[in-house]
Structure 1
Amino acid sequence: MLVAVSALVVSLWSARRQAADAQKAAIMRLVAEFIVRCRTEDFQAAQRAVVTELKSSSAPDPQGGISGLPEPLQSQVKKVGGFYQDVGTLVVLGVVPEYLVVALYYRFLRQVWLAVWPYLERERVMLDAQNAGSVWGSFEHIAVCALNTPFCDITRTFRRRTYVP
Structure 2
Amino acid sequence: MDSSVVFNTVTTAIAVVAVVTSIVFSARQARTAKHANHISVLVDLLREFRSAEFHEQHDYVCARLGAEHDPADGVRGLPAEAKAAFCSVVYYYQSFANLAVFGLLDQTLLVTVLRTRIVSVWKAVGPFVERERELRDEGSEGTYLSAFEELARLAADLPPEHIRNQMAEARRRLSRRGLMG
TM-score (norm 2): 0.75
Q: 1:46 aligns with which of 57, 60, 70?
A: 57
Work out the CA distance in 2 between the residues paired with 1:114 and 1:65: 15
Q: Does 1:115 find its partner at 2:124?
A: yes
**Farther-moved stretch of structure 1 (86-95 vs 42-51):** 86-95
- Pair 1:31 & 2:42 matched: yes
Contact 1:85 1:138 in 2 (8 A): yes
Aligned counterparts, 1:67-78, within 5 A: 67-78=76-87
- Label 1:38 to 1:11 Cα distance change in 2 as closer, same or farther (>3 A): same
> What is aligned with 1:91?
100
Q: Is 1:19 equivalent to 2:30 in the alignment?
A: yes
3-state DSSP class of the match of 2:75? coil
Deviation at 1:96, TM superposition (A): 3.1
CA distances 1:101-159 after superposition (whole Å, capped 9, x unpaired): 222222211221111111111111112269xx62111111121233344412x325403
Maintained 8 Å contact 1:103/1:151: no
Per the TM alignment, residue 66 of structure 1 is displaced from its structure 2 partner at its CA by: 0.6
Percent of aligned positions with the same letter in both sequences? 29
- Larger relative contact order (CA 8 Å, sep ≥ 6): 1
In 2, Cα distance between equivalents of 1:67 and 1:41: 26
**Counterpart for residue 8 of structure 1:** 19
Count of residues paired in the alignment? 156
Q: Secondary structure at the match of 1:55?
A: helix
Q: Return 5+ residue gaps in structure 2 as ranges.
A: 1-11, 172-181
Larger radius of gyration: 2
1:69 shift after superposition: 0.3
Report which of the two has the higher share of helix: 2
Residue 158 of structure 1 is aligned with which of 155, 158, 166?
A: 166
What is the letter of the counterpart of residue 163 of structure 2? T
Q: Distance in 1 between matches of 2:147 and 2:110?
A: 12
Q: Residue 48 of structure 2 aligns to a residue in which SS?
A: helix
Matched, 1:64 2:73: yes
Provide TM-score, normalisation by structure 1: 0.82
